Structure 1
Amino acid sequence: YGPNSWRWNGGMKGRKGSLDEGGLRVPCFIRWPGQIRAGLRVSQIAAAIDLMPTFTEMAGIAGPTRKPLDGKSLKPLLLQESAEWPDRMMFTMQNRQATVRTQRFRLDAAGQLFDMQADPGQTRNAASEHPETASRLQKALDAWTREMLALTGGPDTRPYPAGYARNTMLPARDGVPQGGIQRSSIHPNCSYFKNWTSKSDAMTWDIETARAGQYEAILYYACPSASVGATIELSFLDARLQARISEAHDPPLIGAAQDRAPRTESYVKDFAPLSLGRIRLEKGRGLLTLRALEIPGKEAAEVRGLVLKLAA
């Protein structure tokens, strides 16, 4: 989805996170020896929503049918079964702003129309030259936006599934810090929880377990020697599990020494696994909560995440 800063981007406008071509266009490589001709280049526009319809049709299996899919199977293009491919509209939304792309045009969130074949860098608004196209795309974009906001306009309250596979990973990225606990960055990916200094602090994960049973809880942590000794408790519904952090693990940050400028993304470090023991989780939804009962040092620990391992 484009570079993460303003720099050369193949002549395309925008960067990662933007709704311009340079923030949305990415390459897609598919290899299927004996089926897809090597070196084939597909010029028609496509998107990630097309992958599932494509692969299910190629595999000869039925796709999900509970809800309509906007994606289309790319099998005719990849296997060169047909030269006919109708023009289509590809919609994208980011922070309640939306854009639509056809094979030739892109209409941005401000209503500007760009001819992507004649002007791939989006330097000139062509709405006055193609008023009918601009009007048609604007109406389609408005209708799609209303439909999407009606479906996704509120907060996402879905729980994180647990127990479907033997191991369920619950990174700090998907948890919620309570009290004085902080994330290592405003960007959640690869972040960890820090500043766990009070017994009133907690970190929670909204989960829904698919199978009741005994789960081994494994904490990925960092802790300097001066903070060793914290007693922590993991709870879910009526179940509770206590453990003590008895070994120091204080690895350095990775990458900080090589940076030429401060980064806003989180630095990473090698967190150590600590088995907290086994806890019985009942089937259902609830808050998985990690808190400290005793903090003899400055803080309990830094936490990268939890793994719930279903006992055999």
Structure 2
Amino acid sequence: MNKPLIAAVAVSCLICSFVAAAEPPADDRPNVVLIMTDDQGWGDLSASGNQNLKTPHIDSLKRDGVSLEYFYVCPVCSPTRAELLTGRYHPRGNVYDTSEGAERLDLDEHTLGESFQAAGYRSGAFGKWHNGSQPPYHPNDRGFNEFYGFCSGHWGHYFSPPLERNGKMVRGDGYVTDDFTSEAIKFIEDNRDRPFVCYLPYCTPHAPMQVPDEYFDRFKDKKLTMRHRDPQKEKDLFTKAALAMCENIDFNVGRVLKTLEQLDLSGNTIVVYLSDNGPNSYRWNGGMKGRKASTDEGGVRVPLFIRWDDRLPAGRSINEIASAIDLFPTLADLAGVEILAEKPLDGVSLAPLLRSDQPDWPERLVYSHWAGKVSVRSQHYRLDDRGRLFDMRNDFGQRNNIADQEPEQATRLKVAAEKWRTEVLTEIDRTPRPFTVGYRDTTWLPARDATPHGHVRRSNRWPNSSYMTDWTSPKDRIVWNVDVINSGTYEATLFYTCPESQLGSVVTLTDGKSRTSAEVTEAFDPALIGHKEDRFPRKNTYHKDFRPLRMGELKLSRGETKLTLQAEQVANTSVMDMRYLKLVKKQAD
């Protein structure tokens, strides 16, 4: 359940030992490189048998490491990230959606980054975070010394977009996957002489379907020889763009592996590769049922490769089922890092499976959840969210419901699913949580975290990379529910666009007690970006740049309040488009 912010932060500081691993000698502690892709299906690799593309560098991780053949994540982005970071099922951390605050990981959840950081590791995250934006939900406050990327879910543009570095807005440098990799490589180079954790969560092949010409040109005229199980559902152009993005990912994985080799770090670096959910379209996925957002096999089964030269056997395939909740305890065990957590983990260390051909490994169940739907996977069966039972050894496509033929198994898994619902799903608290202000000197409040009232609306039904538009009336309001952590005077800045013809409106920001106003006097009306780079028509909002408008100072008192942005005067037919509100603490009370 949600807890008051200060209490939650205090709990996270008063952590105690829950799991302890035998620590190897300090000079032999392995590095960790954890690579996770976004919306890449199990079938989007040549290592999985897909002849439509070539992924030699990723395939080498399977060849030179250990492959978990039946590895499961969540059906969508932010829940998988929460499970990977905490070793606990995502509802326990109150991550139940992908935007508008429901993607934030509760502050009393302990993360992988925090345990490794406490053990003396340098930690960095480069890419898509998606578990909270404002401090103390920000990655710099959750165990990562360095962060470069974006904290939201989907992003509007992949070529030199606005990103952030440790809380400061910056301009990206080139294609995002290349850029994130370059930053990760620099981090590895800078920390070559000390143990490090490099978390590299890419945002591709998630939409928008943008990829450099070099990769798309390989596919645009190519005949797809392997198709989705229902080929009439497949959109060839989308598939080609996704596969081109996967080949770009492969190129960048190769860059990381080459860096480790050149720095003589390969032998003492654990490299992990996985995706966060099933494919984001109907394309070849080994004949499995389901895609992204589905709790069926194809929506939650992803590749998982772990390479640790000379420490883990090359080429081993493991058939025991495993899950994202297992990665934190596994990496801590392999590295000899003590897990600092107040709450018990749902995951278990997979080290015995990785190291032994015949481990003493008990039967277990893995649960998949999204939007109230729960599916249960045993080693042999899957019970879907409608209570149908499938023999996953002989019917991995889930075509034949055998619940009537196997009533004992169906009943066993139904009871397990109901128990999981009762014990885990009930931990979700959908009470709206305010967005934190003033935990650090600078707080960014994006349009996605505000609630529009009146005619004003977001630019897209998916909020994450949206902006506020159609602001036409003094009755229109943009409201942020916030929790001010530290009282004081804050300088407020809006990021806006406005054409020359609409200049002159006066906007006001208030918490009901203090207020500040500014007139829109300078035009800034850039074109939307992304049309020409898109390989497939998008459903997300298009991107454009925004410029700052200094609003002035606002005196805010500690506690929960509402920040309301309104037009005191509308000069013509519209006020502005608005992307961000930035608050900088100038003076504390």
Q: Aligned partners of 1:281 and 1:299: how far apart in 2?
A: 29
Q: Aligned partners of 1:231 and 1:117: how far apart in 2?
A: 66
Q: Indicate the structure with greater helix content.
A: 2
Change (3 A) 1:203 1:113: same
Specify which of 248, 270, 279 is matched with residue 3 of structure 1: 279
Asked if 2 retains the 8 angstrom alpha-carbon contact of 1:226 and 1:298, the reply is no
- 1:115 corresponds in structure 2 to 391
1:210 and 2:485 matched: yes
Cα RMSD for the two superposed structures: 3.0
Specify which of 364, 369, 391 is matched with residue 93 of structure 1: 369
Q: Which amino acid aligns with 1:309?
A: V
CA offsets 1:182-217 (integer angstroms, 9 cap, x no match): 121212221211111111111111121222233332
- 1:185 corresponds in structure 2 to 460
Change (3 A) 1:29 1:201: farther
1:131 and 2:407 matched: yes
How many angstroms does 1:278 deviate by?
3.1
Relative to structure 2, which stretch is displaced further, 35-44 or 178-187?
A: 35-44
Asked if 2 retains the 8 angstrom alpha-carbon contact of 1:233 and 1:290, the reply is yes
Asked if 1 retains the 8 angstrom alpha-carbon contact of 2:474 and 2:569, the reply is yes
Relative to structure 2, which stretch is displaced further, 264-273 or 80-89?
A: 80-89
Asked if 1 retains the 8 angstrom alpha-carbon contact of 2:443 and 2:583, the reply is yes
- 1:271 corresponds in structure 2 to 546
- 2:379 corresponds in structure 1 to 103
- 2:433 corresponds in structure 1 to 158
Q: Aligned partners of 1:274 and 1:234: how far apart in 2?
A: 12
Q: Aligned partners of 1:166 and 1:46: how far apart in 2?
A: 41
How many angstroms does 1:29 deviate by?
5.6
Q: Aligned partners of 1:255 and 1:237: how far apart in 2?
A: 39
1:229 and 2:504 matched: yes
Q: How many residues align?
A: 310
Q: Aligned partners of 1:74 and 1:277: how far apart in 2?
A: 54
How many angstroms does 1:271 deviate by?
2.2
What stretches of structure 1 of length at least 5 have no aligned partner? none
Q: Aligned partners of 1:82 and 1:309: how far apart in 2?
A: 58
- 2:293 corresponds in structure 1 to 17
Change (3 A) 1:89 1:306: farther
Q: Aligned partners of 2:310 and 2:485: how far apart in 1?
A: 41
Change (3 A) 1:209 1:135: same
Q: Percent identity?
A: 44
TM-score (norm 1): 0.85
CA offsets 1:23-54 (integer angstroms, 9 cap, x no match): 22334566777866777665443333334444
Relative to structure 2, which stretch is displaced further, 9-18 or 195-204?
A: 9-18
Q: Aligned partners of 2:441 and 2:316: how far apart in 1?
A: 40
Q: Aligned partners of 2:443 and 2:379: how far apart in 1?
A: 41
Change (3 A) 1:62 1:260: closer
TM-score (norm 2): 0.48
Q: Aligned partners of 1:98 and 1:198: how far apart in 2?
A: 45
Q: Which amino acid aligns with 1:91?
A: Y
CA offsets 1:72-127 (integer angstroms, 9 cap, x no match): 34455556699333232222222222111223322111111223333222222232
1:295 and 2:570 matched: yes
Q: Which amino acid aligns with 1:85?
A: W
Q: Aligned partners of 1:62 and 1:165: how far apart in 2?
A: 27
Q: Which amino acid aligns with 1:186?
A: R
- 2:159 corresponds in structure 1 to none
Q: Which amino acid aligns with 1:174?
A: D
3-state SS, counterpart of residue 399 of structure 2: coil
Asked if 1 retains the 8 angstrom alpha-carbon contact of 2:329 and 2:339, the reply is no
Q: Aligned partners of 1:81 and 1:282: how far apart in 2?
A: 61
Q: Which amino acid aligns with 2:402?
A: A
CA offsets 1:143-181 (integer angstroms, 9 cap, x no match): 2223345333x6332222222233322222221111111
Q: Aligned partners of 2:403 and 2:495: how far apart in 1?
A: 54
Asked if 1 retains the 8 angstrom alpha-carbon contact of 2:502 and 2:575, the reply is yes
Relative to structure 2, which stretch is displaced further, 181-190 or 8-17?
A: 8-17
3-state SS, counterpart of residue 49 of structure 1: helix
Asked if 2 retains the 8 angstrom alpha-carbon contact of 1:56 and 1:63, the reply is no
Q: Aligned partners of 1:10 and 1:160: how far apart in 2?
A: 42
Specify which of 200, 207, 215 is matched with residue 475 of structure 2: 200
